[in-house]
Amino acid sequence: MKKLFEKLFTDKENKSFNLESSLPGKVAYPDIPKYIFPSYQDNLDTVKAVFNADLSSDIKIREFICGNKKAFIVFIESMIDSNRINTHILAPMMLVPADATEDMVEKSLVVVNQLMASDLFDDAFYSLSLGDCIIFVDGVKKAFICDVKSWERRSVQPPVSEAVIYGPHEGFTENFKTNGALIRKNVRSPDLISEMLKVGKVSKTPISLMYMKNIANEGLVKEVKRRIEMLETDYIFQLGQLEQFLEDKTFTLTPQFLTTERPDRAAECLIEGKVVILMHGSPFALVCPVTISEFFTTVEDKYVRFPFSNFMKVIRLIAILSSFLLPGLYIALINFHIEMIPSNLLFAIEASREAVPFPSLIELLLMELAFDIIREASLRVPSSIGSTLGIIGALIIGQAAVEASLVSPISIIIVAITGIGSFATPNYELNMSFRVLRYIYIIFGALWGFGGIAFCMFVHLAILSSSKSMGAPLFSSFSGFSMRHLFDYPIWKDEERHTTANPKQTKLQAKISRRWVKK
């Protein structure tokens, strides 16, 4: 038997494959020396070995003579501006008559605005992978890192998931420096600090930690930095991954960080004393700490007058509650508490369900499942097919299913309201958590009626009330009896900062901000 298994599952062609060398932690390339060598040849060999220059076609090494010394420049072809290398680096260096000294290269030969000399291979290779070019000169124990980045990048476009009517239409891009600039454009304060950190032992993905020096709590900034710096992982590519590494509670459905793709929202959070994290390659910003009420608000709430924003908040709250509570309540009502339903409505529901062969629970679960499948499919298909998918979904799930007596019209109405309610949820991650919660509420509603719903609500809120966002309770919006976190006041009355982030300065504006009122 053992031989048979070996015969069946052993790939003859890959017999030479060594499992151990592919295990995590095993380095496939030679150890990198720490310091730059004085010898030209040693440096060249190291660069070639580390970056597999023989195999990687995009790693370019150009050897040249600088004065009387040998030198070479290394860069990644697709990430640099070749014109700048030709005219501002190679031309002056190759045409220099005298010997190139370290001082000359740094101060007079290379004509780029950002140049750094480092004696560490680690710095040089990290910069190389970000799109800089590195110059090595024979006899010089330093590498010259020149900023010649020129990636293909997306221009600033309107945000996809946080569209507004009454506000700026610019969203973050995949370039974190552009994102940082967009935030700085909004804040315009010298107290805005942007600290550079790296995450991932191998990927060394650059991240920018932004906060207001005069407002943000020092303890909070230290805690964020501590958590980031203590991460021990090889690769982190996106903010979503970093968020999972940093969150307080892993096994909870509710997000503990606010994700935004709007620079104005990130700027607003900074003014509140929060910390914003930007990551290279991620068109979002991560904000912490947050409270639960911030997931229900949009940036537009600040831009419109307070009666409208409060009205929209109430509407949104109703939509959000219906997005996860309505199917469960419906099941509880028709299975356990039919006395609550008015007689006429009850007869209508029963008549519509008469031909349906499934119990109400199965019927509703099927509908919810179908709805989620359509939604998931519509996200993955090209936009041109998306509308077709919508029509197919509406026709098949709606009309055909009712005509075939697979589901009742009332179930479709419930699922439709639930779906519309979930689209009104401003935060995508919160929306996803409600999608999961909806099924739990349905099952408990079917098991135990209002008792099950109350049980779910209690447990849900018990978990939420013990959840924290970077040390700050998610439920701190409900601390005390103030409604400031939940509803907007007239903008001139908004005198205090939210206390969630425990800011250094609590005063947001003067007590009488409209001085023109008092003459």
Partner 1 sequence: MTLKSKEAVAVAINLICAKTFLMVPVYFKRLTESGSLITVLYVFTLAAVFLLIYLLSGKIKIPKFLYPIIAILMVLVCSINLFEYSTTVSALFFRTTPLFIIFLFFTLAMIIGAYSNIGKLNLFFVPVIYITVFLMLLFTFSDGNYYYLFPVLGKGFDAVFSDGFFMLSSLFEVIILFFIPDMLEDKKDVKKVTAYTLIFSFIIYLIITAGCLITVHTDLPENCFSPLFLILRQIKIGTYFQHPDTAFLIIYFLSAFLYLSGILYFASHILSKTWRKLSKKMLIIPFGLLILILGVNGENLMPATSYLNKALWIVPFIFPIFARRSFK
What contacts 341, CB < 8 A, 6 or more positions away? 333, 334, 349
Query: Which CB atom, from 160 or from 454, has the smaller least distance to partner 1?
Result: 454
User: Which two tokens mark 66?
Assistant: 């600088």
Binding letters toward partner 1, positions 256-275, x by CB under 8 A: --------------------
Number of Cβ atoms within 10 Å of the Cβ of 37: 16
Binding residue for partner 1 (CB under 8 A) from 355, 373, 404, 454? 454
Which region, judged by CB under 8 A, interacts with partner 1, from 59-67, 93-101, 201-209, 442-450? Answer: 442-450
Rule CB under 8 A: is residue 349 a binding residue for partner 1?
no
The SS3 assignment for 121 reads helix
Min separation Cβ 502 and partner 1, Å: 11
Binding residue for partner 1 (CB under 8 A) from 95, 321, 461, 510? 461
Rule CB under 8 A: is residue 480 a binding residue for partner 1?
yes
* CA end-to-end distance (rounded Å), the chain: 98
Min separation Cβ 440 and partner 1, Å: 14
Query: Which CB atom, from 5 or from 481, has the smaller least distance to partner 1?
Result: 481
Rule CB under 8 A: is residue 22 a binding residue for partner 1?
no
Which region, judged by CB under 8 A, interacts with partner 1, from 15-23, 77-85, 349-357, 461-469? Answer: 461-469
Where do we find the tokens 């959840």? 467
CA-to-CA distance for 101 and 211, rounded, in angstroms? Answer: 41
Min separation Cβ 337 and partner 1, Å: 5
- The backbone region for 473, taken as left when phi is positive above 0, alpha when psi lies in -120 to 50, beta otherwise, is beta
Rule CB under 8 A: is residue 345 a binding residue for partner 1?
yes
CA-to-CA distance for 487 and 265, rounded, in angstroms? Answer: 17
Query: Which CB atom, from 22 or from 343, has the smaller least distance to partner 1?
Result: 343
Query: Which CB atom, from 461 or from 512, has the smaller least distance to partner 1?
Result: 461
Min separation Cβ 459 and partner 1, Å: 5
Binding residue for partner 1 (CB under 8 A) from 76, 449, 469, 498? 449
What contacts 495, CB < 8 A, 6 or more positions away? 507, 508, 509, 510, 511, 513
Min separation Cβ 481 and partner 1, Å: 7
CA-to-CA distance for 227 and 370, rounded, in angstroms? Answer: 40
Binding residue for partner 1 (CB under 8 A) from 466, 490, 506, 514? 466
Binding letters toward partner 1, positions 320-339, x by CB under 8 A: ----------------xx-x
Q: DSSP letter at 399?
A: I
Query: Which CB atom, from 232 or from 339, has the smaller least distance to partner 1?
Result: 339
Query: Which CB atom, from 180 or from 445, has the smaller least distance to partner 1?
Result: 445
Query: Which CB atom, from 481 or from 516, has the smaller least distance to partner 1?
Result: 481
Rule CB under 8 A: is residue 362 a binding residue for partner 1?
no
CA-to-CA distance for 500 and 291, rounded, in angstroms? Answer: 7
Number of Cβ atoms within 10 Å of the Cβ of 487: 15
CA-to-CA distance for 409 and 401, rounded, in angstroms? Answer: 9
Binding residue for partner 1 (CB under 8 A) from 32, 478, 484, 509? 478
Binding residue for partner 1 (CB under 8 A) from 147, 475, 493, 495? 475
Binding residue for partner 1 (CB under 8 A) from 245, 358, 455, 487? 455
Strand-pairing partners, residue 223, are none
Buried b or exposed e, range 50-61, using 16+ CB within 10 angstroms: bbebeeeeebbe
The 3-class secondary structure across 191-257, one letter per residue, is: CEEEEEEEECCCCCEEEEEEEECCCCCHHHHHHHHHHHHCCCCCCCCCHHHHHHHHCCCCCCCCCCC
Min separation Cβ 514 and partner 1, Å: 31
The SS3 assignment for 108 reads helix
Query: Which CB atom, from 291 or from 418, has the smaller least distance to partner 1?
Result: 291
383 burial (CB, 10 Å; 0-12 / 13-18 / 19+) is: exposed
Binding residue for partner 1 (CB under 8 A) from 14, 481, 516, 518? 481
Binding residue for partner 1 (CB under 8 A) from 41, 52, 465, 506? 465
Min separation Cβ 222 and partner 1, Å: 22
Query: Which CB atom, from 236 or from 326, has the smaller least distance to partner 1?
Result: 326
What contacts 204, CB < 8 A, 6 or more positions away? 126, 129, 198
Cα 203-184-220 angle, rounded to 5 deg: 65
What contacts 460, CB < 8 A, 6 or more positions away? 437
Rule CB under 8 A: is residue 459 a binding residue for partner 1?
yes
Q: How many residues bind partner 1 (CB under 8 A)?
A: 31
Rule CB under 8 A: is residue 205 a binding residue for partner 1?
no
Residues in the site for partner 1, rule: CB under 8 A? 336-337, 339-343, 345, 448-455, 457-459, 461-463, 465-466, 473, 475-476, 478-481
